[in-house]
Structure 1
Amino acid sequence: MDLQQMRYAVAVADTRNFTRAAERCFVVQSSLSHRIAALEREVGAQLFARSSRRVELTGAGAAFVAAARECLAAADRAVADACAANGVVRGRLAVGVIVTTAAVDVPELLRRYRDRHPDVRVGLRSGRSDELAAAIRAGDLDIAFLGMPQDERPTGVETVVLDRDEHVLVVPAGHRLAGAERVTLPDIAEETFVDFIAGTPARAQSDRAFAAAGLVRDVAYEAGVVEMITGLIACGLGVTLLPSAYIGPLAARDPQLVLVPVVDGPRRVEYLAWSSFNPSPATRAMLDVLGVG
């Protein structure tokens, strides 16, 4: 058994198709199929149930592939550590980011990182703060940019505060509050709201502010992306509360959106999060680029 056979097995597990797995591994299908068959003989169990139309992991295959992923990750880490000992950063870096990140210009950060460490393969994924923090704890992400209500802090991960921000009210142009100097939560509690999906940290920031004020609001529209939220507002379907540092630049380019300060509105803290347990050379290099040490 060798690492290449493990890579082939993982590729088949991921694609559920021998042809696509072979393409992913840059080998002909017959060679990949032969190596998988030899692997199954060595393991003494069928790893994949296959027919002319479908491929599925068997119970033994699921157990093998899970362990194979760990072995491959360890092998990649060994190479990365060896290269780092010679002053060269290699390997992979998995970065998570919330869609409303404002404290860091993520594209510009990734450009600077690539310029310094071109041999690192960087992967980027967006998601909810709680999901991204969980992915760091599980080892699926190396580093992430999170946004949390001011009374909540990510758990089980190392963090640094990047910024603290206040939410502003976002209304369509022509709204009755568009010209207001400032508003309070009681002023807007009767409005129809557009917001993030219930249960997410982004939604919790506003929910907690209204609950703390003893107010109930009507969230008629829920969306997972800011573009949908602002689009609904621009059409006059509701209002929302968003972090000022994020929405400010967007509203400045969109005459259909007007921002109004909120006296007692939600507050958000942006965090940089990572695992302090044996961070990879690629992770340490990113922390260095960010000035975190």
Structure 2
Amino acid sequence: MDLQQMRYVVAVAETRNFTRAAERCDVVQSSLSHRIAGLERELGVRLFARSSRRVELTSAGAAFVVRARECLAAADGAVADAAAATGVVRGRLAVGVIVTAAAVDVPELLQRYRARHPDVRVFLRSGRSDDMAAAVRGGDLDIAFLGLPEGEPPSGVETVVLDHDAHVLVVPAGHRLAGSARVGLREIADETFVDFVAGTPARDQSDQAFAAAGLVRDVAYEAGVVELITRLVARGLGVALLPSAYIRPLAADDPGLALVPVVDGPRRVEYLAWSRFNPSPATRAMLDVLGVRRQEG
């Protein structure tokens, strides 16, 4: 058994397809299939159940993949640590970021990071703050930029606070509240709302604010991206509450939207999160680029 065989097995497990796995590993399919078949003979078990249309892990395969990922991560870490000892940072860096990140200009940050560490391959993924915090804890992400309601910091990870922000009311330009100096939640509770999907941290920020005020609102439209939310608002289909630091630059270029401060509205905290357990040289290098001071050990 060797690491290349493990990489092939993990690739097939993740793609559920031998052809796509071979493309990912930059090898011809026949060679990949031959190496996996040889590994199965060596182990005396089948790792995959195959048919003309489907490829699935067997129970033995699922157990093998868990340990194979650990071995591959350890091997990659050994290579990265050896390179770091010579002053060169190599390896991979998996970065998670919420779509409404505003405290850090992530593309600019990645540009600076690549200029300093061109040998690191960076993978970027967007998603929900809670899912990405869990991915950092589980080792699937090295670092993540999160946004969570005040008083709910992510658990099980190292964090620094990047910014505190208040939500603003986003209304169509012709709305009755457009141009108001400020509003309270009670004044807007009867409006029809556009918001993020229920159960996500982005949605929880607004839901918790209304619940704390003893108010109930009508969320008629749910969306996973800000662009759709603002388009629905601009069409007069509802109003929205969105993080101020993120939405202000966008609304400045959109005459169809108006922003109104909310005196008792939702507040969020943007965090930088990374693993407590032995961060990789690539992760430590990113923290250095960000100017984050960390405790060793």
> TM-score, normalized by length of structure 2?
0.96
- What residue in structure 1 maps to residue 138 of structure 2? 138
Paired AA for residue 131 in structure 2 = E
After TM superposition, the structure 1 = structure 2 runs for residues 166-205 of structure 1, keeping only pairs within 5 Å, are 166-205=166-205
Paired AA for residue 41 in structure 1 = R
Looking at structure 2, the residues matched to 195 and 21 of structure 1 have their Cα atoms a distance apart, in angstroms, of 38
Secondary structure at the residue paired with 2:198?
Answer: coil
- What residue in structure 2 maps to residue 71 of structure 1? 71
Paired AA for residue 82 in structure 2 = A
Secondary structure at the residue paired with 2:69?
Answer: helix
- What residue in structure 2 maps to residue 54 of structure 1? 54
Q: Is structure 2 residue 119 aligned with structure 1 residue 119?
A: yes
Looking at structure 2, the residues matched to 14 and 264 of structure 1 have their Cα atoms a distance apart, in angstroms, of 46
Looking at structure 2, the residues matched to 33 and 285 of structure 1 have their Cα atoms a distance apart, in angstroms, of 38
> 1:170–1:27: structure 2 CA closer, same or farther, 3 Å change rule?
same
Looking at structure 1, the residues matched to 84 and 21 of structure 2 have their Cα atoms a distance apart, in angstroms, of 31
Q: Is structure 2 residue 281 aligned with structure 1 residue 281?
A: yes
Looking at structure 2, the residues matched to 56 and 71 of structure 1 have their Cα atoms a distance apart, in angstroms, of 21
Paired AA for residue 51 in structure 1 = S
Looking at structure 1, the residues matched to 269 and 173 of structure 2 have their Cα atoms a distance apart, in angstroms, of 28
> TM-score, normalized by length of structure 1?
0.97
User: How many angstroms does 1:149 deviate by?
Assistant: 1.1
User: How many angstroms does 1:115 deviate by?
Assistant: 0.6
- What residue in structure 2 maps to residue 269 of structure 1? 269
Q: Structure 2: any 5+ residue segments left out of the alignment?
A: none
Looking at structure 2, the residues matched to 213 and 98 of structure 1 have their Cα atoms a distance apart, in angstroms, of 27
Looking at structure 1, the residues matched to 168 and 18 of structure 2 have their Cα atoms a distance apart, in angstroms, of 52
Secondary structure at the residue paired with 1:219?
Answer: strand
Q: Deviations over 1:66-116 (max 9, x none)?
A: 211111111000000000000000111111111110000001001110111
Paired AA for residue 218 in structure 1 = D
Looking at structure 2, the residues matched to 19 and 129 of structure 1 have their Cα atoms a distance apart, in angstroms, of 33
Paired AA for residue 238 in structure 2 = G
Tell me the matched-pair count. 293
Looking at structure 1, the residues matched to 210 and 24 of structure 2 have their Cα atoms a distance apart, in angstroms, of 50
Looking at structure 1, the residues matched to 53 and 100 of structure 2 have their Cα atoms a distance apart, in angstroms, of 42
Paired AA for residue 233 in structure 1 = V
**The 10-residue stretch of structure 1 (144-153 or 243-252) with the greater mean CA deviation from structure 2:** 144-153
Looking at structure 1, the residues matched to 167 and 29 of structure 2 have their Cα atoms a distance apart, in angstroms, of 55
Looking at structure 2, the residues matched to 201 and 56 of structure 1 have their Cα atoms a distance apart, in angstroms, of 33
After TM superposition, the structure 1 = structure 2 runs for residues 1-293 of structure 1, keeping only pairs within 5 Å, are 1-293=1-293
Q: Structure 1: any 5+ residue segments left out of the alignment?
A: none
Q: Deviations over 1:207-229 (max 9, x none)?
A: 11111111111111111111111
